[in-house]
Chains A and B, each alone.
Chain A
Amino acid sequence: AQSVAQPEDQVNVAEGNPLTVKCTYSVSGNPYLFWYVQYPNRGLQFLLKYITGDNLVKGSYGFEAEFNKSQTSFHLKKPSALVSDSALYFCAVRPARQGGKLIFGQGTELSVKP
């Protein structure tokens, strides 16, 4: 079965420190991997994606993610967290050739304190 796991319900970081939000996946074939962010009372906003190529992908708001095929992981990172980064982060996988159908992780609440 295809699935995505985000092992941490919550991540707490001090402003200015690096942050990592973890994601692992299980999918047959080559995965298309995504990170979305959800701010309060807003929809899911696209952050970045991995389709193919360089394992380190850069996205919006200074975020990046590293694809690791051997560990089936796609962790989200940022070198220096901002208070405004506080939000709910979702990792998602799109099985090959399934258009916009995404399989989401359960989400990780990121809290950045001043």
Chain B
Amino acid sequence: EPEVTQTPSHQVTQMGQEVILRCVPISNHLYFYWYRQILGQKVEFLVSFYNNEISEKSEIFDDQFSVERPDGSNFTLKIRSTKLEDSAMYFCASIRGRTPEEKLFFGSGTQLSVL
């Protein structure tokens, strides 16, 4: 089965530093997402991206966050100035289309630890 690939699997950073989380969605998929899961809490939607622009974002996704698809294959999430509360597992996901039958594929996640 095709896979969404995320790198790195673990990222440790100091508070206030910028981090970039990387994802390679499945090649024929058109819609891309970031979710996060704080330890012991729900998986939460952050942002959706289609046609090189954000189509929807949650209240979590403030101006410290940005997403980009710089080269047609990678999909990145940047956190400009990390806070302790940004520590979480971040999942990238992609889907081919918006019909109900389509399945959302998730990557294995990047565990971000902000110290």
Q: Which residues of A contact B (CB under 8 A)?
A: 32, 34, 36, 41-46, 49, 51-52, 90, 92, 94, 97-107
Across-interface contacts of A34 in B (CB, < 8 A):
104
Across-interface contacts of A32 in B (CB, < 8 A):
100
Contact partner of A99 (CB less than 8 A), chosen from B4, B31, B42, B44, is B31
Across-interface contacts of B50 in A (CB, < 8 A):
99
Asked if B41 contacts A44 (CB within 8 A), the reply is: no
Contact partner of A103 (CB less than 8 A), chosen from B9, B45, B91, B104, is B45
> In residues 35-76 of chain B, which contact A (Cβ within 8 Å)?
35, 41-45, 48, 50, 55-56
Across-interface contacts of A97 in B (CB, < 8 A):
98
Across-interface contacts of B93 in A (CB, < 8 A):
44, 100
| Size bracket, chain B contacts | 20 to 34
Could you tell me the distance in whole angstroms from the C-beta of A30 to the nearest C-beta in chain B?
9
- Of all chain A residues, which has the CB nearest B33? A100
Could you tell me the distance in whole angstroms from the C-beta of B46 to the nearest C-beta in chain A?
10
Across-interface contacts of B102 in A (CB, < 8 A):
100
User: 1/0 per residue B87-115: CB within 8 Å of A?
Assistant: 00001011100101111111111000000
